[in-house]
């Protein structure tokens, strides 16, 4: 076959794909109609995870698994939008890393609502102004996002998912070279992730903290002596050149985001559960609470303490582990923990990233 033959073959395949996608969309609309009549949730994340995981498992290539996930994320997003766009709140403004994580999780056809603060994202979900919210919870180099953990103590939202996003920080500026930059601005976490690079290449330049990486990009778009530490998405949306790419100090810089909602997720077979608890201030208290995990060989993926802010030196422990609360093994372990804890709360079970 020559080049024209192959192009003709691709055209035929594209037509077949379009026809099949429209058939799939029609089936999705019928399902949506049945759900409305039975008053069922129109978005079921565990079903979405099941679809994508099955396709990745069955994939024979040459498409890599990441491409399959990205393609079906948009197909699923488009199918939902036929019924009603999913409202998703996120820590804004547009082009923050949280915005990227929301796009990665829900696809580009969701109805995204930027919020000014992490607390505003929680409130949007709590007050039913959004079905889901996306908030950062920890960075691989800078650690936990305390505002998110603190809000989880009192909020009645449930954890419905997680997103892991590689964080590539770039220096954006309209300045033609580094010598003309007078100020570097960004979110405190972004600046911390580039601390060594900034000290080595811009040692005498003032560093200014702003509300977000996107806000920094907006400032750099207006003032040519300002450099912003931000993403390539921010560079494109705010039309600011990338003066120096990949300035993060760690090549393995990534951030974990949580998806919050109001409906409990069912098991998918590849799940994670998050809990929090407080305990008595006595020897062996933590060991007694954590021992059931070891006895049942449940893998702990995170453990972190935070002050309750109610009593001095009173703490709660956040624990993430592999497994779903509705399975018999996990349910038995959680029952044992509840017996030994002063305060105990299941934050949610959800598909693991």
Active site residues: 255, 257
Distance CA 33, CA 169 (A): 44
Which helix (H) or strand (E) element contains residue 112?
Answer: strand 111-115
- In eight-state DSSP terms, residue 286 is H
Q: Which tokens sit at 37?
A: 């009549």
Distance CA 296, CA 288 (A): 14
Distance CA 250, CA 337 (A): 37
Q: Are the CB atoms for 138 and 255 separated by under 8 Å?
A: yes
The 3-state DSSP composition of the chain as helix, strand, coil percent (nearest 5) reads 45, 25, 30
Cα–Cα separations (whole angstroms), residue 338 to 153, 272, 288, 324, 341: 16, 18, 11, 16, 5
């Amino acid at each position: 076959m020559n080049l024209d033959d192959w192009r003709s073959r691709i055209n035929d395949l594209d037509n077949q794909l379009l026809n099949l996608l429209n058939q799939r969309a029609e089936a999705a609309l019928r399902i949506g109609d049945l759900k409305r009549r039975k008053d069922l949730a129109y978005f079921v994340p565990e079903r979405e995870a099941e679809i994508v995981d099955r396709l990745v498992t069955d994939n024979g290539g040459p498409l890599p698994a990441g491409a399959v996930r990205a393609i079906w994320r948009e197909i699923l997003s488009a199918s939902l939008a036929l019924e009603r766009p999913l409202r998703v709140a996120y820590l804004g403004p547009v082009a923050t890393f949280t915005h990227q994580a929301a796009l990665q999780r829900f696809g580009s056809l969701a109805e995204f609502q930027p919020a000014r603060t992490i607390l505003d994202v929680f409130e949007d979900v709590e007050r039913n102004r959004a079905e889901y919210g996306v908030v950062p919870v920890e960075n691989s180099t800078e650690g936990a996002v305390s505002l998110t953990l603190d809000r989880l103590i009192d909020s009645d939202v449930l954890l419905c998912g997680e997103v892991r996003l590689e964080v590539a920080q770039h220096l954006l500026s309209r300045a033609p070279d580094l010598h003309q930059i007078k100020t570097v601005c960004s979110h405190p976490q972004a600046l911390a992730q580039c601390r060594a690079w900034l000290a080595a290449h811009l040692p005498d330049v003032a560093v200014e903290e702003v509300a977000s990486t996107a806000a920094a990009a907006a400032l750099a778009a207006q003032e040519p002596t300002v450099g912003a530490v931000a993403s390539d998405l921010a560079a494109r949306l705010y039309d600011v050149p990338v003066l120096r790419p990949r300035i993060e100090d760690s090549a393995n810089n990534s951030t974990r985001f949580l998806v919050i909602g109001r409906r409990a997720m069912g098991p998918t077979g590849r799940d994670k559960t998050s809990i929090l608890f407080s305990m008595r201030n006595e020897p062996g208290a933590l060991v007694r609470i954590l021992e059931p995990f070891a006895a049942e060989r449940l893998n702990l993926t995170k453990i972190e303490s935070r002050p309750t802010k109610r009593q001095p030196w009173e703490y709660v422990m956040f624990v993430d582990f592999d497994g779903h609360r509705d399975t018999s093994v996990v349910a038995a372990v959680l029952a044992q923990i509840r017996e030994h804890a002063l305060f105990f709360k299941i934050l949610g079970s959800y598909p693991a990233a």
